[in-house]
Structure 1
Amino acid sequence: MGMHVGGGLGPMSGNGSGGGHNRSKMHELAKNEHLDWAIVRRALFALTPYRLQAVFVSLLLLAIAAGSVLPAWLTEQMIDVGIAHANVHLLILYTLMLILTTVVTGLLGVWQTWLSNVIAQDVMADYRLMLFNHIQRQSISFFSTRQSGDLVSRVMNDVTAIQNVITTTLVGLVSNVLVITATLLLMFSMNWQMAVLSLVVVPAFVFPTQRVGRLRQNIQGNIQHKLSQLTIQLTEQFGVSGALLTRIFTREQAEATRFHQTSQELRDLQVRRILVGRWLFMWLGMFSAIGPALLFGYGGWLVIHHLIALGTVVAFTTLLGRLYNPLSQLAQLHVSILSSIALYRRIFGLLDIEPEIHDGSNQLNPAFISGKIELHGVSHRYSTQTETGLLVLKNIDFTVDPGQMVALVGPSGAGKTTILNLISRFYDPLCGEVMIDGIDIREFTLTSLRAHMGLVPQDPFFFHDTIHENLLIAKPNATRAEMITACMAAQIHETIDNLPEGYDTVVGERGYRLSGGERQRLAIARVLLREPKIVLLDEATSALDTLVERKIQTALLELLRGRTSIVIAHRLSTVLSANYIIVIDEGTIVAQGTHAALLENSLLYRSLYEAQFANT
């Protein structure tokens, strides 16, 4: 039973600097000025499950494109056939056809808009689910180096912006290409010389768009970064812990100033994004007027010389609106496509982070598990400490037999919590093996492994929900009677029963409506309700007064009988209840044995006893 240990919780108390580095990296990626076709292909791949709907939308857009140019041809026929030849019958027929075309095209447009938005909402839901599941698969070190507000911003703000990409950018691209194609086909079929003249000003619509697209792409990346900053601040400030900290240090005004400054920067960026293309669109509007002027001049000359019918000139002027307007929209869409790349980079940047903990393939069979725990040659360092090379666990070797209770003692930061993290497989060791019943835990699925473990952390977490719902997390099919039994064993039932709404009482965010001792007792009840084979207690009774602790120790001794348990101990009662004690210092086991033996043989244990346990 030799062992070496170190390090405490490590990066779980990190300040989020890694999240800042990650956001900086995403921010730099957003400055890429080129259209990334790999990202475009990957973004389009998200439409694969909806390809049939997408094909139908394309057919609707094709019909709408045909319907948008048909009025010009009908106008030509009304003038050159109906009016010029005084044919009232054809005039009425073409008029009715013109009205019908307009109505049908409008209805098809409504249908297409509805279906496009349904697809967009489905894709957004898929991305949110992908991001949520992907984040759920990350190890604890992932969360310890990132700010939760930034992750929330990725899942909510960035994904929400995708809707505009699909409904406006993608649909607009297909729609405008089809309209331009249909318009040009009709124009060249009418008169190729006038069609060519109509295209003279087209380069003026295309060339200025590249620089504007790059500028708006950079601005879009900065906007998403600012939205992320605001989400982070709101998440931190509106939580109970953040609110308490702000008030304790009277930071209300400073936080309001910081929020105002970021909001102002976001406002300036959004205004700049809107205005950055105004000069371009003024340029496009100018050439939209030049084209019809040239066409009227040349077309009028042809009519005067009887080389073309008047209806054709009128139809061409009508078609110019169907040509230049889509060209102008395509120029804006090019800007939007480049801007949307920043959104997808942030989303894909998160999706591409490989989880550190990979699921095993074997199930841990509850019928055969005995609960034996072994650590062989285990060393560990947290990912945030790779540059320093600091090992928090060093060549650990120890065994806990089934049904044994082992206490871990040592100075703060010695590595006690790290051992529990490795056994729970929140982290994988740098080297060595953690084994359950002689099998490396990396071979088991995470779900089956943790289904047989119960962990009471030093600071238990509870959702903003009722006591009943928080207990169901441990055992979803638990009855009220089972909950009461577990809570009585944890000495918390009487407290709950005295609450106005009993087990239906909402505990508040993180359980702040309960005292520290009540939260820990409720956390113990939650573990007892799960009835795991292995129990890990991280200073689970540190917030309990002596009287309550004695009651709960009696309950724990009875309910942990036959279960393997490892307890980080800060109280004498826990130490005395253990089968044996492991003393850890600076990542190393410096002593182990019974309480009496360690008092006699271990100077460190004796000093810890005198400092922590003697008066408990």
Structure 2
Amino acid sequence: MGMGMGMGGGFGGRGGGGGGGRRWEMRELAKQEHLDWGIMRRASKSFMPYWRKALIVSVLLLITSAGGALPAWLTQRIIDDGIMKDQFSVVIWLTSALIVIALVTGLFGVLQTWLSNAVAQDVMADYRLSLFTHIQRQTVNFFASRQSGDLVSRVMNDVTAIQSVITTTLMGLASNVLVILTTLALMFEMNWKMTVLSLVVVPAFVLPTQRVGGVRQKLQGQIQQRLSTLTVQLSEQFGVSGALLTRIFSREQTEIQKFSQVNRELRNLQVRQTLVGRWLFMWIGMFSSIGPALLWGYGGWLVIHHQMQLGTIVAFTGLLSRLYSPLGQLAQMHVNLLSSIALFRRIFAVLDVEPDVQDGPITIAEGSVKGRICLEDVSFAYGASASNEPAVVLRDVNLTIEPGQVIALVGPSGAGKTTLLNLIPRFSDPLTGRILIDDHASKSLTLSSLRGQMGLVPQDPFFFHDTIYNNLLFARDDATQEEIEAACKAAQIHEMIRGLPEGYDTVVGERGYRLSGGERQRLAIARVLLRAPRIVLLDEATSALDTLVERQIQEALTVLMKGRTAIVIAHRLSTILTADNIVVLEGGRIAAQGRHAELLETSSLYRQLYEAQFAVQSEMAEQVVAE
């Protein structure tokens, strides 16, 4: 996991019925969408790894389609060659064939259903893995600009929703096309004039579907957006931090109302999507009855005038339902196919986001660097201001940190301290300039090998809802119990853990909520110690800590930074007093640097910061000693 030590921390409308519903639908039909073949071609590539299974499914579909058409032909033979000619043996033989065909077709149908669902689940699993892997490659800025619940919704809800596209729509499309082709082939072989008459009503099945599909495509996108909104709210409200904030400000009822509104909009949209096209399918149903009526009228005339046998017209009426049913389903599938485009667009919208930071070609072993860090003319900008100009955070920073040195970063809020710290492990890349680790440009290194040299203790350490033991293993999954305990002893937290009822098997709660602020910070230090990096990045906690806890943390930090290169965003007086070099940042530039005593004499900004922040700590410490 690269740094492996807790980097996840700091850093619609109303549904209408009757005439109103119809008027709304007709207005929406005017805003039709078209099939996006680029999206569909891209989506179809997801089947390529499973082409063998897909080929078998296609063969099975062909067999079942042909097997479904044969009973009509056998029925014709039973009537014309058996019943009408008093040949009971022919009737027995052909009815037996009907039973065998039904059995074989059913077995092949079960196999085809199993294989098609297996392909669907494979494709869904691939999309979920691709999305998760791609999101894992993104920088911190990617997550800072997006809601986690929306990303969860795309990985889970959107991918799950495409199952019906694969199993029902695409497989159904192939099945129905084969059924239509085999049925037409048999119908033309039996009587081409009757077949042409049967096809007269086919345009009524096809023409309206494009317009209905456009509406359903738009509704599908709106449905997925509402699902995403609900997922975001659930993830925020069901987390400890969100739950606390909601309750302290008594916003429970407001949140319920927000959820209720979106939930109602989702319900209305789903009802609309179900009802869109009801006029189309009523139309299709009407013409499904007209076709057989025309067939019986014309066919009856031919039978009466001895131009066609009775078995043929009976078989034709059976084949007609076999022809019209898949045509109606094809119309529905075309609508579903259009609506599925919205799902794939949402999935591809995430997959198309290129990570801001790319892997370099060089891999170096963990612990192989000495720890020298050099920033050469480094500038950084992110976002955009109202004038569309980059918001510059760092400007022409030049800084050299020798192996084993402790560097303290101080400066007013917004001076660029956290940004500078984040550039070292390449959470972001400089706009200009470069950063060297020993003699390696950081951009030339793979991200995992670069971050493998580093450890981070963020201001608000993150812990998974898991045991203390497993949270520590996140730093190094091959660590032994003895190594874990040694790291915790060095971090001044082993005795506290041992005093818990379940010891290292204690579950820390979401984000480590069951631990105090000082305990979380010491546990984060233990996690970095277990990693044993050459470079330590530390954003000291600003929360008020009692003297004993602060002393324990300081002792743990002393162990952590000993013999390592350390860059510290300093909030404690003890840190700046012991630092080898203090870097004073102002407006994204280095305003001054040096030791504490020197900067008090030479830098007015540092002196102001010291008097406003660190001198207060000194007075508090003196007061505690006096008491």
Report 1:554-593 matches (<5 A).
554-593=555-594
Matched AA of 1:163? Q
Q: Is the 8 A contact 1:542 1:570 kept in 2?
A: no
AA aligned to 1:418 is T
Task: Provide the secondary structure at the position in 2 that maps to 1:476.
Answer: coil
1:527 aligns with 528
Identity, in percent, stands at 66
2:72 is aligned to 72
Aligned equivalents of 1:356, 1:149: Cα separation in 2: 22
What residue in structure 2 maps to residue 379 of structure 1? 379
1:233-262 per-residue CA deviation (whole Å, 9 max, x = no partner) reads 111111111111111111100110010000
SS at 1:454 equivalent: strand
Distance apart, 1:543 and its partner CA:
5.2
Q: How does 1:69-148 map to 2 (within 5 A)?
A: 69-148=69-148
Secondary structure of 1:267's counterpart equals: helix
Aligned-pair CA distance for 1:575: 1.0
Match of 1:194 in 2: 194
Is contact 2:367–2:533 with CA below 8 Å preserved after alignment?
Answer: no
1:144 counterpart letter in structure 2: A
Pairing 1:146-185 to 2, within 5 Å after superposition: 146-185=146-185
Matches of 1:33 and 1:106 in 2, distance apart? 38
588-597 vs 316-325, greater mean Cα deviation: 588-597
2:316 paired with 1:316: yes
> Which deviates more, 530-539 or 493-502?
493-502
- Quote the Cα distance in structure 1 between the aligned partners of 2:205 and 2:390: 58
State the Cα distance separating 1:559 from its structure 2 match. Answer: 4.1
Q: Tell me if the contact between 1:491 and 1:548 (Cα under 8 Å) persists in the aligned partners.
A: no
The one-letter code of the counterpart of 1:274 is: T
| Aligned-pair CA distance for 1:400 | 0.5
The one-letter code matched in structure 2 to 1:302 is L
SS at match of 2:397: strand
In the TM superposition, what are the counterparts of 1:426-465 in structure 2 within 5 Å?
426-465=427-466
Q: Secondary structure at the match of 2:200?
A: coil
Q: Deviations over 1:500-549 (max 9, x none)?
A: 11110000110001111111111111111110000010115755433233
Q: Could you tell me which residue of structure 1 aligns to residue 550 of structure 2? A: 549
Partners in 2 of 1:569 and 1:546 — Cα distance? 17
Q: What secondary structure is seen at the aligned counterpart in 2 of 1:185?
A: helix
Return the offset for 1:598: 1.2
Hey, what's the Cα distance between the residues in 2 that align with 1:279 and 1:480?
69
Question: How is 1:203-242 mapped onto 2 (pairs within 5 angstroms)?
Answer: 203-242=203-242
Measured in 2, the distance between the counterparts of 1:541 and 1:562 equals: 25
Distance in 1, matches of 2:384 and 2:122, equals 37
Which stretch shows the higher mean deviation, 503-512 or 587-596? Answer: 587-596
In 1: Cα distance, 2:164 partner to 2:170 partner: 9
Q: Deviations over 1:161-191 (max 9, x none)?
A: 1110110000011000000000000001001
Q: TM-score, normalised by structure 1?
A: 0.94
Query: Structure 1 residue 336 and structure 2 residue 336: aligned?
Result: yes
Determine if contact 1:499/1:505 at 8 Å carries over to the other structure. Answer: yes
Residue 390 of structure 1: how far off its partner (Å): 2.5
Residues 267 and 305 of structure 1, relative CA distance in 2, 3 Å threshold: same
Q: What amino acid maps onto 2:540 in structure 1?
A: E
Measure how far apart 1:556 and its partner are.
Answer: 3.1
1: CA distance, partners of 2:439 / 2:383: 27
User: Which residue type is aligned with residue 599 of structure 1?
Assistant: L
User: What amino acid is aligned across from residue 103 of structure 1 in structure 2?
Assistant: L
Q: Partners of 1:260 and 1:80 in 2: how far apart? A: 65
Distance 1:491 1:382 in 2: 39
Q: Distance in 2 between matches of 1:509 and 1:179?
A: 55
Cα deviations by residue, 1:372-414 (Å, 9 ceiling, x for unpaired): 0010000001135582433110100010000111111111221
93-102 or 382-391: bigger deviation: 382-391
Q: What is the CA–CA distance in structure 1 between the aligned matches of 2:616 and 2:606, rounded to whole Å? A: 15
Distance 1:555 1:199, change over 3 A: closer
Q: Where does residue 19 of structure 1 map in the other structure?
A: none
The residue that corresponds to 2:487 in the other structure is: 486
Instruction: Report the secondary structure of 1:46's partner residue.
Output: helix
Question: Helix, strand or coil: the match of 2:201?
Answer: coil
Q: Which runs of 5+ in 1 are unaligned?
A: 1-8, 14-30
Aligned partners of 1:529 and 1:253: how far apart in 2? 45
| Maintained 8 Å contact 1:357/1:427 | yes
Question: Per the alignment, in what secondary structure is the counterpart of residue 381 of structure 1?
Answer: strand
Aligned to 1:597: 598
CA contact (8 A) 1:516 1:543 kept: no
Whether 2:516 is the aligned partner of 1:508: answer no
Whichever residue aligns with residue 133 of structure 2, its letter is: N
Contact 2:404 / 2:565 at 8 angstroms: preserved in 1? yes
Number of the residue aligned with 1:247: 247
Equivalent residue letter for 1:464: H
User: 2 CA distance for matches of 1:412 and 1:492?
Assistant: 31
Which whole-Å CA distance do the structure 2 matches of 1:89 and 1:365 have between them? 83
Aligned to 1:18: none
Task: Give the equivalent residue in structure 1 for 2:17.
Answer: none
DSSP-derived class of the 1:615 partner: helix
- What secondary structure is seen at the aligned counterpart in 1 of 2:162? helix
